[in-house]
Every structure is written in structure tokens, then in C-alpha cells.
Chain A
Amino acid sequence: MCSEEVLGEEQEIVEEVDLAKDFKESGVGEILDELDTSLTGLEPVKTRIRETAALLIVDKARRKLGLVNEPLTLHMSFSGNPGTGKTTLALKMADLLHKLGFVRKGHLVSVTRDDLVGQYIGHTAPKTKEVLKKAMGGVLFIDEAYYLYRPENERDYGQEAIEILLQVMENNRDDLVVILAGYKDKMAKFFESNPGFRSRIAHHIEFPDYTSDELLEIAQKTLKEQHYKLTPQAIVALSDYIRLRRDQAHFANARSIRNALDRARLRHANRIFNESIGLLNADQLSTIDDVDILSSRVFKGGIDNF
């Protein structure tokens, strides 16, 4: 029965704990290793996650010794620019919390304002409660959380959703973990105008922008997963692309790069389709050359469709 493993219930009090053994048995080490290898860059975030994991393991050990009974506040806020890996990390976080037994099921329910706020009076509360119930035993990830609060419209139903959210975050702390995510400056403003949220969230994690080198690494990793490869000239072209793209409007870090790669693949497909006469081998079908990247509008100073 899974609920017996969950904290907050009566547990046998032991005399000593072995942290290293707990760590090993929980399988958290694997998640952390996977985080290290699968996510490029994001060093400050990884450090914070490691610290949080240490806190969770120690807290669990303290419970075993009977030193704490209060449930730990685990609600978090992820702030950072678009495409810096907030959603990806939320998934890992859910996994981590589940492995350590802080949430019973470890599923992630990802929502935005539309899923919480209703369209007419009396519509919001049931809608928000429905989502909260669905997330119980797991993690509720609210993307672009600041849209919940719209100060310019005092009759906005977002406020109602916020109130229910705060109430459940406080009373059902051992049932679900809420992660709020969004762009940094807007999140700061949101917390400023909703002090209730600020005080109920223990962990604020900031996601830095990727450096150009990291973006290039991400691009190569993504292509490798899709069984594509770049010629040496294409790598040079791509790093030029990243350098130029950074300074243009609507730059969304890894997401922009992913989109650029999708378009490069499109041009590559078109090129070999038009040029080819005769038979093609796997190598030709999976090698992206510099012309596929250089024909992007970014090099002509224009914006490349986000």
C-alpha cells in the first residue's frame, strides 16, 4: 500500500540513520546524475536542486528519528527567460519528490491561467478545485503564474483562483506541491502584489540564460537524438547563427535553437529533394550542411519567425 510510505503518518522511530544508504536506496542519485548529463549548463539550478535534495534526505532522516512532525513546505517558484528549461526541470522535480516519498504519486499536472480561471461568476472555484484535486499526490505546475493576477481589472476571476490556491497550498501541504513558473521580472512583480504567495513558497530558483557555447552543445545533442549530424562548416555556421540570433528580438534560448534546427532540417530536405538524381544513402539524408543554416533570414538581419 503506497500511502504507508508517505510521510506525515506514524512511523517507527529509530535510533540512528545512515544518510548514504538512504540516498542510495531512494534512487535520487540517479535522477541527479541524469540531470547533470541530460541538461546542458544551468549550473546554479543544478546546485539548487542538489541542495534541495540534500534537505529532503536530511528531513526524511530527521523524521525517522522523531525530530520533526510538521510537513515540509516544498512549494517552489521557477523564474527565468523563455526556453531555459523550467518545464523540463519541473518534471524531474516531480520525479525527485516522488522517489523521496514527499508526494505519493509523483505525476505532474501542468496548467496555465485558462485551466484555473473560469469565464463567469461561480465557474472559477469548481474549475480550480478540479485541477487541484487532479494534482493531489503529485506536483501542480502553473506556467506563467502571474497571469492569474490582473490588477487592471478588479472584477477579474483570477483573484478567486489565487485564494483557493493559497488555501490548499497551506492546508494540504502533504498532498501536493505547487510550482509557479514564469519570466523573472513578471514573477517578481507578481510576488510583490501577492505577499501570500511569497511567504508560502520556500524555494525560489532562478534559471539563467544559456551561453552561446551551451546553446551550440544543446543543438548538437538535439540533432544527435534525431540522428542528424552537422558538417564542420555547418557547426561554424550554427555558432554564427546563435551569436546573431541572441541579439535579435524574441530570442527564447533553447526553444529558438530547436526551432532553428527544425527549419534547417526543412531546408536540408528541400535541398536534397531538388538536387538529388539517383540514389541517396543514409549519410546524405542525415548530414546538415552550412548552406542549410546560412540561408536563414537571421543572417540578413531579419527576424527568423521567432
Chain B
Amino acid sequence: MRVTQGAFSFLPDLTDQQIHTQVQYCIDNDWAVSLEYTDDPHPRNTYWEMWGHPMFDNPDAAAVVYELNECRKIHGGKYIRIMAFDSTAGWESVRLSFIANRPKTEKGFRLSREEIRGRSVRYSITPYSTDLPEGERY
């Protein structure tokens, strides 16, 4: 099941050239671009691992694509996303976030139903990947 989080997730995967173009747009807007990766794609998992520091002072997107490829060498089987943080007063938040790398096979989510009082049902989802301990998931 394809994980659809962040921008462009309903499109085919972006090529490096397209990523470069997107990142350059962010840099030209003075947003700080950073890389994060995870092996737990639950939508409520906001705590992805950081890959290095946010890149504040690179005027060219080639640096981000370079780091992305470095990250792929080690975490190529996981989800990697690119985030662009806008620090201008009033925004102070992530302006763009998109997945730049995903595992070859995405295991998807288990839907569990729990019957609670009054026979109403409570739903929750769990990524199949998190059945395995960290480090063995993808």
C-alpha cells in the first residue's frame, strides 16, 4: 500500500531532477531544507530521525540532492522526506514536506477494531512494519 503523506504523494515518485527543482524553489524562498528518515510510517508518527542538520546556508539545491543520495546509501530501504521550514514571523512552520524515497515494497497498515461499551467500534491502524523491532523493519 502506497503511503500518501506530504505533498506530491499521489504523483509518481519524483526524479532527482524534479527534487532538485522543488528544493531550489524552497531555497529561493529562504526556507531551511532538511532531511528526515523513518521506518515507522504511521501518519501520527511525527518524530522522524533527522539526517544531519537543517541546511541553512546552501544557495544551491545540489547540496540537498547530494545529502539525499548520501542518506539513501544507508537508509535507502526506509522512508526519507524533505522538509522546508519557513522561519519568517507569522509562519514559523514547515511550508513544504514531501517523501523523496520509499521502500521497494510498502507493507501497509493493519486495521484493528475494538468493540467497546455499547457495542460501538473503535478503530486504529498499525503499520505492519512495526511488528518487527526497530532496525529489522525494512
Interface residues of A (CB under 8 A from B): 1-3, 9, 104-105, 107, 132-134, 136-138, 172, 175-176
- Chain B residues positioned under 8 Å from A172 (CB to CB): 62, 66
Task: Give me 6 other A-B pairs in contact (C-beta within 8 A), A1-B21, A1-B25, A136-B60 excluded.
Answer: A3-B17, A107-B59, A133-B55, A136-B63, A137-B59, A138-B60
Q: Identify the closest chain A residue to B55 (Cβ).
A: A133
Is B99 on the interface with A (CB-CB < 8 A)? Answer: no
Whether the Cβ atoms of B17 and A136 lie closer than 8 Å is no
Whether the Cβ atoms of A134 and B63 lie closer than 8 Å is yes
Chain B: interface residue total (CB-CB under 8 A): 15
Whether the Cβ atoms of B57 and A134 lie closer than 8 Å is yes
The answer, among B24, B25, B58, for a CB contact under 8 Å with A134, is: B58
Q: Interface readout for B88-114 with A: 1 if CB under 8 Å, 0 if not?
A: 000000000000000000000000000
In the docked arrangement, what's the CA distance between A194 and B69, Å?
28
- Chain A residues positioned under 8 Å from B55 (CB to CB): 133
Could you tell me the distance in whole angstroms from the C-beta of B110 to the nearest C-beta in chain A?
Answer: 40
In the docked arrangement, what's the CA distance between A134 and B60, Å?
8
Whether the Cβ atoms of B66 and A133 lie closer than 8 Å is yes
Is B82 on the interface with A (CB-CB < 8 A)? Answer: no
Whether the Cβ atoms of A3 and B21 lie closer than 8 Å is yes
In the docked arrangement, what's the CA distance between A275 and B24, Å?
61
| Most B-side CB within 10 Å, residue of A1, A104, A133, A137 | A133
Interface residues of B (CB under 8 A from A): 17, 20-21, 24-25, 55, 57-63, 66-67
6 contacts between A and B (CB under 8 A): A1-B24, A3-B21, A9-B17, A133-B63, A134-B59, A137-B63
- Chain B residues positioned under 8 Å from A1 (CB to CB): 21, 24-25
Whether the Cβ atoms of B60 and A104 lie closer than 8 Å is yes
Whether the Cβ atoms of A136 and B21 lie closer than 8 Å is no
Whether the Cβ atoms of A3 and B66 lie closer than 8 Å is no
Could you tell me the distance in whole angstroms from the C-beta of A97 to the nearest C-beta in chain B?
Answer: 13
- Chain A residues positioned under 8 Å from B25 (CB to CB): 1
The answer, among A3, A9, A105, A132, for a CB contact under 8 Å with B59, is: A105
- Chain B residues positioned under 8 Å from A134 (CB to CB): 57-59, 63
Whether the Cβ atoms of B62 and A104 lie closer than 8 Å is yes
In the docked arrangement, what's the CA distance between A3 and B60, Å?
10
Given contacts A133-B58, A134-B58, contact A2 B66 (CB under 8 A): no
Q: Identify the closest chain A residue to B24 (Cβ).
A: A3
The answer, among A2, A3, A136, for a CB contact under 8 Å with B58, is: A136
Could you tell me the distance in whole angstroms from the C-beta of B24 to the nearest C-beta in chain A?
Answer: 6
In the docked arrangement, what's the CA distance between A265 and B8, Å?
63
Q: Identify the closest chain A residue to B17 (Cβ).
A: A9
In the docked arrangement, what's the CA distance between A172 and B63, Å?
10
- Chain B residues positioned under 8 Å from A133 (CB to CB): 55, 58, 63, 66-67
Q: Identify the closest chain B residue to A133 (Cβ).
A: B63
Whether the Cβ atoms of A2 and B24 lie closer than 8 Å is yes
- Chain A residues positioned under 8 Å from B67 (CB to CB): 133
The answer, among B21, B24, B59, B66, for a CB contact under 8 Å with A138, is: B59
Whether the Cβ atoms of B60 and A175 lie closer than 8 Å is yes
Could you tell me the distance in whole angstroms from the C-beta of A168 to the nearest C-beta in chain B?
Answer: 8
Could you tell me the distance in whole angstroms from the C-beta of B69 to the nearest C-beta in chain A?
Answer: 10
Could you tell me the distance in whole angstroms from the C-beta of A229 to the nearest C-beta in chain B?
Answer: 41
In the docked arrangement, what's the CA distance between A197 and B20, Å?
29
